[in-house]
Amino acid sequence: MALVGCGSAVPAASITNQQLSERVDTNDEWIRTRTGIRARRIAGPSESLTCLASRAAQAALDHAGWSPDDVDLILLATSSPDDLFGTAPRVQGTLGARRAVAFDLTAACSGFLFALITASQYLGSGTMKRALVIGADQLSRWVDWDDRSTCVLFGDGAGSVAVEACGAQDNGLLGFRMRSDGSRNGCLTLAQLDKHAPLLGELTAQRGGFAPIQMNGQEVYKFAVREVPAILSELLEATGTAPEQLDWLLLHQANQRILDAVADRFAIDHSQVLSNLALYGNTSAATIPLMLDEAVKDGRVQPGHLLASSGFGAGLSWGAALLRWQGPTD
């Protein structure tokens, strides 16, 4: 599987820490020192998840030099769909990718990596040739904006990559690992509301809806700084890759302290850690492709560069992938 194109999209409106302090009891220094976040993008009335995902996917198509009819598969990693029956088909329709099968994949902040690995299996089997993998979330609709422990963390955005089947010499997915631990699910949830209404006689029916995001920040932080280095170590050992061979660390953008801790674990210079969370906050499944697109477009990530990537979050779930960027082919 070769990674041959990328794209991203973010809402127009940006809310700074100082602006947020007008709503809740917080301040810029408190947020920055604990998370590294300075601002986050928030979708407006005309910026649905479908809109953001479609814009990112179209940008990846353009970058790869594909037409919509070239696409066999569209995978949308999201935990905040516009339609619980699936938002990927809406994206397919918007793009005009008539030949593509499209479906959602939900794995929270690990979603993009899980979707990328899933796409690789279709391409590797020979059943499909080209795929768009999108990570997009609009968690602003599920944040309690009066809860300063969570509302300061999340933002909206989308990112996408175009991937295609290739020979071994161009393979861009050199190895991967995936993990889940449902026994720790309660650390980070966006849970169904436990509300029931009378139906017939003594029977009731549950009403749809979800509670705001709930998070045990300390436990999630400890989970990340323990499990991410462990799974990356396992992957690097399995692929015979030394940390000094890596060009970049491309990690889920949740907290700058987590990114720095992982770099320190492998003695990787902090300048090799790709980070844009200061401007966007935690965009969940979008963080990795959003960061990749930024680094490709500004020239930091070049064809042939080797990236160790890890996604981690609710589920609890986490994963890692060793990626080589190729970029558009002639």
Catalytic residue among 109, 151, 166, 187: 109
Catalytic residue among 6, 171, 282, 305: 282
Contact present, 131 and 64 (Cβ < 8 Å)? no
Closest by Cα among 78, 113, 77 to 232:
113
Residues 203, 247: Cα–Cα separation, whole Å? 60
Contact present, 117 and 137 (Cβ < 8 Å)? no
- Looking at this protein, which amino acid is placed at residue 202? E
Catalytic residue among 51, 252, 255, 305: 252
**Is 252 among the catalytic positions?**
yes
Contact present, 291 and 202 (Cβ < 8 Å)? no
Instruction: State whether the Cα torsion 189-322-170-126 is positive or negative.
Output: negative
Residues 323, 258: Cα–Cα separation, whole Å? 20
**Is 305 among the catalytic positions?**
no
**Is 196 among the catalytic positions?**
no
Dihedrals phi, psi of 196, to nearest 5 degrees: -125, 150
Interstrand relation of 306-313 and 248-251 (parallel, antiparallel or unpaired) = parallel
Which stretches within the chain are classed as H helix? 17-20, 28-35, 49-64, 88-95, 111-125, 148-151, 217-239, 256-265, 277-280, 287-297
* Active centre residues (catalytic): 109, 252, 282
